[in-house]
Copies of this chain bind each other. A is one copy, B any other.
């Protein structure tokens, strides 16, 4: 059961002028589902992306990097679920290339103008011939308002499609930012989530897209973790169709740049949080905030140690205020000269630990009350500096084990 997350209302997903979306049933892994998604961009769109830091990156990720670097402009995405085309060696790269070639031929664009994305099982051969066969149907279904179908089409173990949309006004013109994402396991993005796509019609200098998507990723997808497993396929793309008709945004630190930046960050955060809310087996949405570090890096070490600890996560699942597990995680996070006697711990409004030990006023029933909530903030203060870090995660439940023990069957 996702945590405070509902399926998106298609009527609230504003189309982005200059972009159409189509889907088809390719039967990549299972028959009878729309597992192939195509994005088609009008000429003039600009794109930027951030990708997994996993050294075992998937063939489509390698090809995305190659095609973006070619600088020929991006005209299409070809996205399949059911097979990640990762751990597939040279053959996998050739198959990813074939999917781009096929779509490029049908659209009369160059193969380097197509970006491929795959998600699903690792180390299995991509049945690219099924994708090729289904591409004409996907192109025939292209439409402006295809976002909800696309969000459903890229799901793997997600229980709900994930989408977000914002409209802002820039120079008197309405500008749209709409995006979709998918999780829901192997989630500890170090660059982006498994798959995230955000599009806008804002007129923005193409060179600004990369810093914008990097910042948005750092403030959203790079702050979530479900199981600590950084995927082989993480990809987050930002495309600007540049059709909104306002004066070009030439810098992010202008009024127009900030308006767009805030809208992109808001969409990215909503999409990233949706992945955690729909994390495999998740029953609680946990915000981990670590303050008082010497630098952000050590705050992140502590925050991720808490967010990844199976003991902490099972305690949240059980609504059991076994909060010493949080202290233990801070202690082994790798901050070499940490002084345990300075540490404070709050669980929402409850002050649990002061000066490294149990707060004299802390009562078990207060911890119990907070642990029963579906959204909880853990706040640790290291009291050794002014830096902070924030991570969103979920609990570890029986359903996580069931889902991942049965994923391929």
Contact = CB atoms under 8 A, between A and B. Distances in A.
A363 to B, nearest CB: 13
19 contacts: A55-B331, A86-B328, A87-B328, A87-B353, A88-B358, A89-B358, A90-B341, A122-B325, A123-B327, A229-B325, A229-B329, A232-B327, A232-B331, A310-B400, A315-B404, A320-B408, A398-B398, A398-B402, A401-B401
Contact of A397 (B55, B125, B401): B401
Interface band, chain A: 35 or more
Interface string A390-408: 0000001110111011111
A136 interface: no
Contact of A358 (B123, B309, B311, B318): B123
B406 A318 contact: yes
Interface in A320-375: 320, 322-325, 327-332, 335-341, 343, 353, 355-358
Contacts of A358: 87-89, 123-125
Contacts of A337: 55
Given A55-B335, A229-B325, A317 B89 contact: no
Contacts of A328: 54, 56, 86-87, 122, 186, 229-232
Given A125-B358, A310-B404, 12 more contacts: A53-B332, A55-B337, A55-B340, A56-B340, A89-B357, A89-B358, A90-B357, A186-B311, A230-B331, A310-B396, A314-B404, A400-B401
A356 B89 contact: yes
Interface string A43-82: 0000000000111110000000000000000000000000
A341 B89 contact: yes
A188 B311 CA distance: 12
A303 interface: no
Interface in A96-116: none
Nearest to A317: B405
A190 interface: yes
A321 to B, nearest CB: 9
